[in-house]
Amino acid sequence: MNENGLGCDPLVVAERWRKEGRKVALATVVKAWGSAPRPVGSHLVVDDMGNFEGSVSGGCVEAAVVVEAQDAIADGRPRVVDFGVADEIAWRVGLSCGGRISVYVERIE
């Protein structure tokens, strides 16, 4: 947290974590359709211990992206993961909106 109690810029956090010797992956929203919780360009940084900063969505999607990021750290392969839910079922599964996002996940060297 910064002095205002707000989260730090995930890119700054990624740079700091790398300098500390942590293995790091960066997830970036590259496409968004419909009503998505975070805009294109939103970032989530994850280390090999499962710590994370930033946001690409929220809830179960964010948890899945953390797992994908840890996999990218382990195998070194970037990936694009897609998530989506139709408006008519969004409320039933506990989401505030429908829509789709594509997230690019890569290990940072």
Q: Write out pLDDT tens, residues 12-60.
A: 999 999 999 999 999 999 998 877 778 899 999 999 999 999 999 877 7
User: Taking the complete model, does pTM exceed 0.85, yes or no?
Assistant: no
Q: How many domains does the chain have?
A: 1
Confidence of residue 8 (pLDDT cuts 50, 70, 90): confident
- Domain for residue 62, yes or no? yes
- What is the per-residue pLDDT across 55-102, written as a single tens digit (0 to 9) for each? 998 777 889 999 999 999 999 999 999 987 655 555 555 555 667 889
The answer as to whether 68 is a domain residue is yes
Q: Do residues 102 and 81 make contact, with C-beta atoms less than 8 angstroms apart?
A: yes
Domain of 89, in residue numbers: 10-108
Q: Establish if 1 belongs to a structural domain.
A: no
Contacts of 20 (CB under 8 A, 6+ apart): none
**DSSP helix, strand, coil percent of the chain (3-state; round to 5):** 30, 30, 35
